[in-house]
Structures are given as structure tokens and as C-alpha cells.
Amino acid sequence: MPQYPDPGRPLYCARCAAPLGEQKRGGVVRPACAVCGWVYYAKNALGAAVLIESANGVLLVQRKGEPYQGYWMLPAGFVEYGERPDETAIREALEELGLTVTLNGLIGVYFGDDDPRNVAILLVYRATIAGGELRPGDDARAAAFFRRGALPPRIAFQGHRAVLRDWEAGGT
Ligand SMILES: [Zn+2]
């Protein structure tokens, strides 16, 4: 298993605030507290995205902020603690596109390790527009449809590039 940098790696124990040492647990060296026994387990982030397709192609949003400012991606966001990922997908479509959507099943589960904030697992849902008016939200610079063979050259995040490769190949 590769060792990725973890921006959330703590220096102090979350339970007793003692400086953390390291212990091997489950075959992996992890930050651990010699005082109270607390062990830190790094977690992948979970994201949810919607793939909305029309006669004009697939709907993408252009990122307004870092990382990957100006790059395009599927409408997506991180799943909040306690939130169902299908609810995340619907919420992000509303926030980023101004659209209410209906989900039509899971396209796939994708992996990305090129987001400096997190290693991320991305759930991609097929979605259709149920209402609303397309307008980019606060996090987006623009939103537009792109046809097969005419995607923008700069796509943010490995998981998004992978699902769009599958879509261009006709596999989704
Ligand atoms: Zn401790």
C-alpha cells in the first residue's frame, strides 16, 4: 500500500493532547499516543459527483478557487459527516448549477490522489435535470456542456479525468 502525504496528520493526541509518537498497527506505522493509547488512522475523503448528459454533451463546472483554479470538473463536493452521498450529489448540483436533479444510479467509484487536501474516493451518479435554471454557483466560474471529443484540456482531479475518459469511450 503506498504511503501518501496526509495533510490531516496530527502532532498531538486528540484525546489527551500529549505529543504523538508512532506505532505499527495493522502493518502500517501510525501516529500513536504513548500516554493514553489513542491511535490516529488516516482516512480517505469521500466525494460525490453528478454526471448530467444532454444532447449537447456532459455538464461541467469551471473551478473558481484553488486547487486547480480554472480547471473543469463534474459538479461535485465532499460528503459531510453523517450525510448520505446521494444527498451530497443532489445538494452539490443545486449549489454549483442552480439545478434540481434526479439521480439515476451509480456510474462508478473512482480514486484520486492528486488533490493536495485529501486522497479521495469519488462516487459518480448519473443525474437528469428535474428543474431550476442553469447558473454557476459561488464556487464555480462557469458551467457548460461539452461534447464527446471536445472536452476542455484542463480537467481537475484524477477521479474526474477517469470518469470522463470512460464517458468519452462510451462506457458510462
Ligand atoms: Zn493520548
| Ligand 1 mean position, distance from CA 17 (Å) | 6
Q: Is the pLDDT of residue 1 over 70?
A: no
Which is higher by pLDDT, 116 or 20? 20
Report d(CA 33, CA 170) in Å as an integer: 50
Split into its structural domains, the chain has a count of 2
Residue 41 CA to ligand 1 center (angstroms) comes to: 14
Confidence (pLDDT) at 171: 67
Summarize pLDDT for 45-102 with one digit per residue, the tens.
999 999 999 999 999 999 999 999 999 999 999 999 999 999 999 999 999 999 999 9
* Ligand 1 geometric centre to CA of 20 (Å): 8
Task: Kindly give the distance from the C-alpha atom of residue 12 to the centroid of ligand 1, in angstroms, as a whole number.
Answer: 8
- CA–centroid distance, 42 to ligand 1, in Å, is 17
Cβ(1)–Cβ(28) under 8 Å?
yes
Residue 57 sits in a domain whose CATH number is 3.90.79.10
Tell whether 140 is covered by a domain. yes
Residue 35 CA: distances (Å) to CA of 16, 24, 110, 123, 126:
8, 16, 38, 39, 48
pLDDT for residue 2: 61
pLDDT confidence of residue 81: 95
Asked if residue 83 belongs to a domain, the reply is yes
Confidence grade of residue 172 (pLDDT, cut at 50, 70, 90): confident
Three-state SS annotation for 82-148? CCCHHHHHHHHHHHHHCEEEEEEEEEEEEEEEEECCEEEEEEEEEEEEEEECCCCCCCEEEEEEECC
Specify whether 82 is located in the same domain as 97: yes
137 shares its domain with 153: yes
How far is the first Cα of the chain from the last one, in angstroms, to the nearest whole number? 29
pLDDT at 68: 96
Residue 133 within any structural domain of the chain: yes
How many angstroms does the Cα of residue 19 sit away from the middle of ligand 1? 8
Distance (Å, whole) CA 160 – CA 113: 11
Q: Tell me, in angstroms, the distance from the centre of ligand 1 to residue 121's CA.
A: 29
Domain extent at residue 13: 8-42
pLDDT value, residue 7? 83
Q: Is 94 found in the same domain as 83?
A: yes
Q: In this structure, are 84 and 145 located in the same domain?
A: yes
Ligand 1 centroid–CA 18 distance in Å is 5
* Same domain, yes or no: 50 and 91: yes
Distance 5 CA to ligand 1 centre (A): 23
Q: What is the pLDDT of residues 100-150, one digit of tens each?
A: 999 999 999 999 999 888 899 999 999 999 999 999 998 899 999 999 999
Task: For residue 3, report the distance from its CA to the centre of ligand 1, in Å.
Answer: 24
